[in-house]
Amino acid sequence: MSLRDTLLQLSSVALDAVRGDKVVKNTLKRNHYLNKCHLLAIGKAAEAMTLGAIEQLGSLIQTGLIISKHGHFQSSLLSSDFRFQCIESDHPIPAKASLSAGKYLVQYLQQLPIDAHCLILISGGTSSLAEVLHEGWSLNDLQELNQYLLENGYSIEQINAVRCQLSKIKAGGLWHYIGKRHVTCLMISDVEGDNPAVIGSGLLFPSNTTTPTNLPIKWKQRFKPRQAVSTPNFYWEIIATLEHAKKAVKTSATKMSYKVNVDNNFLHGNATDIAKQCAQQLKQSDVDIIIWGGETTVKLPKNAPEGGRNQHFALAAAIELENSNCALISLGTDGSDGTTEAAGGIIDGQTIARGAAQALSAKQCLQQANAYTFLKATNDLVITGATGTNIMDIVIGIKKRD
């Protein structure tokens, strides 16, 4: 098996370990959950998580509202089952559909019986997919602020802290509409540290993060002190994380007789710099495979071309690994990377040469945040489609064994 084939196989192992339908079904089965319930699923893994609940609970689910990203509904079951209303919404920049989804969300909760049991399934992407704005904030404000945060490399924690300032439902605000109804919440984590107050901007959890101090004054001066939210006791559990995926990869690679190292440092910061560090670590290591994970950032130029941080990461690593006996994959575990159809990139020691043969400069493409064009030309894009999960990014490096 080639290095590239091994990387693709291991990345499939990672995705399967944290697939929404699988982890929801197993969790409900393990907890002997037998309540009649009304289901609310929000996020890029909402459909998969819902399917897991249906498989385990069947007719115990009385009604459901599922909100996910455009193109992430693939199941005929959901479109034909009268119990469920499926809403496609906008990500990563919230738009008109996000506010519409927020309106449906509030209406759905308010019309439930006061003694209803709510099974709430949350995954990454929730922050953009459904929103209810405070008075004085417009959709244009929301979009402009989100675009600024994404283009200037703010971390997901910082972005969520800002989003909470604008929102009636984030930072525990959803309780205003849930009231005293009973809640069970299962989450797939897409944030460092698996903090439930950050996952989906903490629909059920008060925020414990502060607004970034380096935010332009034109935004900060409009923020008002957040009112405390009273959150009743309820059952919640994080059922899939980046660490689960990394552990699954290590187990699989070890069974294949590879020497494996899981790097426990969270990848964050400038994607170019971190990719160079990982590539050097791989070349200098005495193991065959290294597994990393996290979420890097790319500061985009104005009018940036199509691309994503995983493709950017892969191209930066390819420059460092040119003519080496190494290969590396950088993958967005939700199946989407930036503005493209790709989930990320897979590169090897000959990637740069393949690009040069197409009259492309890797360094120039990297500077222009145009990794997509380069990796598409070299056949180094990874396209998975919607994966049914979202646990940030996973990076796997491999070197040829002696």
Between β-strands 84-89 and 61-69, what pairing exists: parallel, antiparallel or unpaired? parallel
Phi, psi of 240 (to 5 degrees): -150, 135
Strand intervals (E) in 303-364: 326-332, 344-348
Question: What is the CATH code of the structural domain delimited by 20-240?
Answer: 3.40.50.10180
Distance CA(297)–CA(309), nearest Å, equals 6
Domain positions in the chain? 3-13+243-399, 20-240
Sign of CA dihedral 179, 184, 186, 189: positive
Do 20-240 and 3-13+243-399 have the same topology in CATH?
no
In DSSP notation, 10-24 reads: HHHHHHHHT-HHHHH
Indicate the SS3 state at residue 210: coil
φ/ψ region of 396 (left if φ > 0, alpha if ψ in -120 to 50, else beta) reads beta
Q: How high is the pLDDT of residue 301?
A: 81
Indicate the SS3 state at residue 30: helix
- In this structure, the number of other CB atoms found within 10 A of the CB of residue 110 comes to 11
Q: What is the pLDDT along the chain (402 residues), one digit of tens a residue?
A: 899 999 999 999 999 999 999 999 999 999 999 899 999 999 999 999 999 999 999 999 999 999 999 887 876 656 666 789 999 999 888 899 999 999 999 999 999 999 999 999 999 999 999 999 999 999 999 889 888 887 787 877 788 788 888 999 999 999 999 999 999 999 999 999 999 999 999 999 998 777 888 888 888 888 887 777 778 889 999 999 999 999 999 999 999 999 999 999 999 999 999 999 999 999 999 999 999 999 999 988 878 888 899 999 999 999 999 999 999 999 999 999 988 999 999 999 999 999 999 999 999 999 999 999 999 999 999 999 999 999 999 999 999 987
φ/ψ region of 388 (left if φ > 0, alpha if ψ in -120 to 50, else beta) reads left
- Whole-structure pTM over 0.85, yes or no? yes
Tokens read off for 88:
């496609």
Q: Rounded to the nearest 5 degrees, what angle is found at the Cα of 148, between the Cα atoms of 144 and 152?
A: 175
Q: How high is the pLDDT of residue 366?
A: 96
For residue 39, the cross-strand partners are 64, 119
Q: How high is the pLDDT of residue 332?
A: 97
Fold for domain 3-13+243-399? glycerate kinase, domain 1 (3.40.1480)
- Under 8 Å between Cβ of 132 and 106: yes
- Under 8 Å between Cβ of 104 and 86: no
H or E element in which residue 236 lies = strand 235-240
Q: Please, what is the angle between helix 309-320 and helix 271-284, to 10°?
A: 40
Identify residue 39 by its one-letter amino acid code.
L
